Chain A
Amino acid sequence: AQSVAQPEDQVNVAEGNPLTVKCTYSVSGNPYLFWYVQYPNRGLQFLLKYITGDNLVKGSYGFEAEFNKSQTSFHLKKPSALVSDSALYFCAVRDSMNTGFQKLVFGTGTRLLVSP
């Protein structure tokens, strides 16, 4: 069965500095990987996904993520953090071998706090 780990409950970064939110995964086959962001009292918003192809995926709001198969990781990055990036971030994985229903497995989330 697939699983996702987000090892950090919270990440603190100063505005203007680069940020990284970590995610590692486990699947039987090839992974489909996703990042979602949740702002307070809102639903999850899709940021980006890796299905196949280029290991560096670019998404919304200047975020990007790098797929690393050997390390089974899909870390979320941004070169320069904004205070408005402060939110809860979820990594999710789906096994490409699961061609039936699209069961996504979510991590427990990482809270990002960007200080002015």
Chain B
Amino acid sequence: NAGVMQNPRHLVRRRGQEARLRCSPMKGHSHVYWYRQLPEEGLKFMVYLQKENIIDESGMPKERFSAEFPKEGPSILRIQQVVRGDSAAYFCASSPKRGNYGYTFGSGTRLTVV
């Protein structure tokens, strides 16, 4: 029973390139959350998705960032035209249902923009 799988673990991109981060939730979990952790800061909520639906994207920057969770396959966090300020650890969490069930986190993707 694999946990939440994120890949890649480390990603290096040059300024202006695109970054794609993948998250496969735990088996049976249909709710996915993305968080960003900047150096020396706490984890900040970005987006909450269910299969084929974005439920809450209030934490997503208005430009360059997008997320999806298709019917088949992993959830994808996409950052277009990356800048140095996008360098951070991006964590994905999943839960089985909405509500009082707690969350399981993946190991994160560490994005470095050079």
> Do they bind each other?
no
Interface residues of B (CB under 8 A from A): none
Interface residues of A (CB under 8 A from B): none
